[in-house]
Amino acid sequence: MSTQSAVTNLDVPPASARRINHALTAPLERRALLWLASRAPAWLSSDQLTLLGLTAQVAAGACYAWSRTNPRLLLLVIVCLALNWLGDSLDGTLARVRRCERPRYGFYVDHMVDIFGSVALMAGLACSGYLHWQTAAAMLVAFLVLSSESYLATHALARFQLSLGIFGPTEIRLLLMAGNLALLHSPYARLFGHRWLLFDVGGVIAAAAMFAMAMVVTVRHTAALYRQEPLPRREEKLPSGAKALC
């Protein structure tokens, strides 16, 4: 089978996957994106918005790195995160409103952009001095594990999980924005009688929460797939010549 045939014959293409988003801001965000998409200029394309989202996230990482010597750049990070939200969230909505979806292309490109953008953002944070690089690495690994589970579940279960509980990408951006404003006041937090870097505290909590959520949904989805594809009973007769490898 050719590579092209293998791609076009996917059992569960992204277009058929049910989108699930129970994030706190999801209803308001959905209305805002539809309003923006219906009023977007004709020259603006989904690909341009995707590029905007990636560029803004890379710029946010660069601003975090440079904020080590100029804390005011933390305000520019907030602007970059807002532009990242615009590009990352509006590209798919614009395609759906204009009825020019490219499900597999959009799914692949959008999520590879998320991965590269997240690496750039965490690298910038690791260089910022506002947290230890080990904390940034832990957050990145946890994000990649959680993202990988989501992408696999999209194919295996035909459900695309955009949020976990009330938290989604928009909530994470809002928390980062609030954290930046707090950093301008003080980069430290007092906890259990000790002084810690504020972003170290938040980063450890975020990484632990993402790892925990990844394990919970992995167990849940594994159980669901096991129920859908149970092992054959011993008394069931195997096809002639087949080997009982299970």
Please list the pLDDT of the chain residue by residue as tens digits (246 residues).
Answer: 444 444 444 454 555 677 788 888 999 999 999 999 999 999 999 999 999 999 999 999 999 999 999 999 999 999 999 999 999 999 999 999 999 999 899 999 999 999 999 999 999 999 999 999 999 999 999 999 999 999 999 889 888 887 777 888 999 999 999 999 999 999 999 988 889 999 999 999 999 999 999 999 999 999 999 999 988 876 555 565 555 555
Residue 234 confidence (pLDDT): 66
Residue among 194, 54, 197, 195 at smallest CA distance from 125: 197
- Structure confidence at residue 14 (pLDDT): 58
Flag whether 84 is in a domain. Answer: yes
Note whether residue 184 is domain-resident.
yes
| Residue (of 143, 32, 5, 142) closest to 94 by Cα position | 32
Please name which of 2, 7, 3 lies closest in space to residue 155, comparing C-alpha atoms: 7
Q: Is the dihedral of CA 177, 178, 184, 190 positive or negative?
A: negative
Which tokens sit at 36? 């923006």
Task: State both tokens at 117.
Answer: 């953008």
Domain span at residue 205 reads 17-225
In a domain, 209, yes or no: yes
Give the single-character DSSP code of 129: S
Q: Are strands 194-197 and 188-191 parallel, antiparallel or unpaired?
A: antiparallel
Total domains in the fold of the chain: 1
Question: Which residues on adjacent β-strands are paired with residue 196?
Answer: 189
CA dist., res. 211 & res. 164, Å (int): 12
Separation of alpha carbons 66 and 55, rounded Å: 16
How many other CB atoms sit within 10 Å of the CB of residue 121?
A: 26
CATH number of domain containing 188: 1.20.120.1760
Q: Specify if 162 maps to a domain.
A: yes
Q: Is residue 27 part of a domain?
A: yes
Tokens of 222: 């594994």
Q: Which residue has the tokens 């008394």?
A: 235
Assess if residue 246 is contained within a domain: no
| Distance of alpha carbon 187 from alpha carbon 131, whole angstroms | 9
State residue 16's pLDDT score.
61
Within a domain: residue 12?
A: no
| Rounded Cα distance, 135 and 179, in Å | 15
Q: Domain for residue 154, yes or no?
A: yes
Output the pLDDT for position 241: 56
* pLDDT in the model for residue 9: 44
